[in-house]
């Protein structure tokens, strides 16, 4: 999903994930990805949530984005192989106010410790079941059907998730995110979604980030 309707194909993502092929950071570094073409170096570094000695990677996504749904298997396989000094976190975007309920859905699930069990199910509800989980009533009804306590969810959805959504949008703007999926690396680099190449570029930039 591109904010400015710039289309990028992720059709090969599923094939790579299914193949079980690993990605070597050393090999990725030798490829020599080009600044301005394969990634962007931020003119103003963005604050990270990780301590010194660790590299933060942020995935910018939207539940309504079919490319993000297709990207999930590749991203999950990559996350499982990350070294201990690399910390990954997901950040839902809001290009318009219509995205905010979905942002708050993610952060409510995160606060309740339910991302591991329901994150993928939300994607499937959108893109396989065609459920319009874009409003608070629709979201709450769906979450309740998953066996989640309705009142507890509403408490997080209307509580901490509001501030978290605002912070997510601020981070999205700081990285100047143009579309989803996209990655931010070390608060210094932005990678637009390029299918399997996205992970190769990320591996290369993680190596560079460790140098400073």
Position 206 pLDDT exceeds 60: yes
- Domains in the chain, CATH or no CATH each: 37-210 (3.40.30.10)
Q: What is the pLDDT of residue 91?
A: 98
d(CA 59, CA 91): 6
Q: What is the pLDDT of residue 134?
A: 97
Q: What is the pLDDT of residue 5?
A: 33
CB atoms within 10 A of CB 128: 10
b/e per residue 67-86 (b: at least 16 CB within 10 A): bbbbbbbbbebbeeebeeeb
The answer to whether 120 and 130 have CB atoms below 8 angstroms apart is no
Task: Provide the pLDDT confidence category of residue 1 given band limits of 50, 70 and 90.
Answer: low
CB atoms within 10 A of CB 60: 26
pLDDT digits (tens, 9 = 90+) for 32-41: 799 999 999 9
The answer to whether 65 and 1 have CB atoms below 8 angstroms apart is yes
pLDDT digits (tens, 9 = 90+) for 51-100: 999 999 999 999 999 999 999 999 999 999 999 999 999 999 999 999 99
Task: Provide the pLDDT confidence category of residue 104 given band limits of 50, 70 and 90.
Answer: very high
Q: What is the pLDDT of residue 11?
A: 31
Beta bridge partners of 86: 55
């Amino acid at each position: 999903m591109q904010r400015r309707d710039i289309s990028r194909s992720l059709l090969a993502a599923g094939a790579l994930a299914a193949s079980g092929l690993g990605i070597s950071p050393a090999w990725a570094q030798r490829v020599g990805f080009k600044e301005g073409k394969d990634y962007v170096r931020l003119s103003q570094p963005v604050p990270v949530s990780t301590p010194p000695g660790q590299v933060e990677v942020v995935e910018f996504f939207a539940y309504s984005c079919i490319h993000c749904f297709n990207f999930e298997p590749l991203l999950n396989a990559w996350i499982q192989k990350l070294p201990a000094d690399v910390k990954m976190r997901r950040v839902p975007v809001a290009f318009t106010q219509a995205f905010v309920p979905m942002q708050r859905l993610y952060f409510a699930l995160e606060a309740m410790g339910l991302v591991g069990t329901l994150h993928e199910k939300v994607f499937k509800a959108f893109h396989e079941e065609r459920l319009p989980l874009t409003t608070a009533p629709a979201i709450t009804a769906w979450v309740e059907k998953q066996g989640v306590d309705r009142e507890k969810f509403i408490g997080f959805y209307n509580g901490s998730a509001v501030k978290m959504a605002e912070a997510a949008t601020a981070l999205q703007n700081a990285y100047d995110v143009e579309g989803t999926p996209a990655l931010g690396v070390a608060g210094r680099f932005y990678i637009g979604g390029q299918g399997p190449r996205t992970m190769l570029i990320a591996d290369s930039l993680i190596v560079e980030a460790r140098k400073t």
